[in-house]
Amino acid sequence: MMEQLKQLEQRLRETLPGAKLEIRSIPDSLNIKLALINENFPTGPLDQQTMRKVINSPAYWSFCWGSGVAAAGWIKENQAFFVGKTILDIGSGSGIAAIAACLSGAKLVFACDVDADARAATRYNAQLNGRKLTIIDNINSVSKKPDVVLLSDVLYDNSNLSLLDHPLIAESNTLIFDSRIKNLSAKGFESFATRCSCTIPNLGEFDEFREVSIFRSDRSDYFKPD
Ligand X SMILES: C[S@@+](CC[C@H](N)C(=O)[O-])C[C@H]1O[C@@H](n2cnc3c(N)ncnc32)[C@H](O)[C@@H]1O
- Applying CB under 6 A, the residues found at the interface with ligand X are 60-61, 64-65, 67-68, 90-94, 96-97, 112-115, 118, 152-154, 157, 160
* Nearest alpha carbon to residue 110 among 84, 71, 146: 146
* Nearest alpha carbon to residue 192 among 220, 153, 160: 220
Whichever of 148 and 154 has its CB closer to ligand X, that residue is 154
Q: Is the peptide bond before 45 cis (omega within 30 degrees of 0)?
A: yes
Whichever of 65 and 81 has its CB closer to ligand X, that residue is 65
Three-state SS for 161?
helix
Question: Degrees (nearest 5) of the Cα angle 79, 36, 5?
Answer: 105
Three-state SS for 68?
helix
With b for 16 or more beta-carbon neighbours within 10 A and e for fewer, the 147-178 pattern comes to bbbbbbbbbeeeeeeebbeeebbeebbbbbbb
Whichever of 108 and 136 has its CB closer to ligand X, that residue is 136
Listed in sequence order, the DSSP H helices in the chain are 2-15, 48-56, 66-77, 96-103, 116-128, 167-170
What's the maximum distance between 2 C-alpha atoms anywhere in the chain?
Answer: 58
User: Which residues touch 207 (CB under 8 Å, ≥6 apart)?
Assistant: none
**Considering the complex, what minimum distance in angstroms separates the CB of residue 219 from ligand X?**
22
Beta-carbon count within 10 A of 6 CB? 11
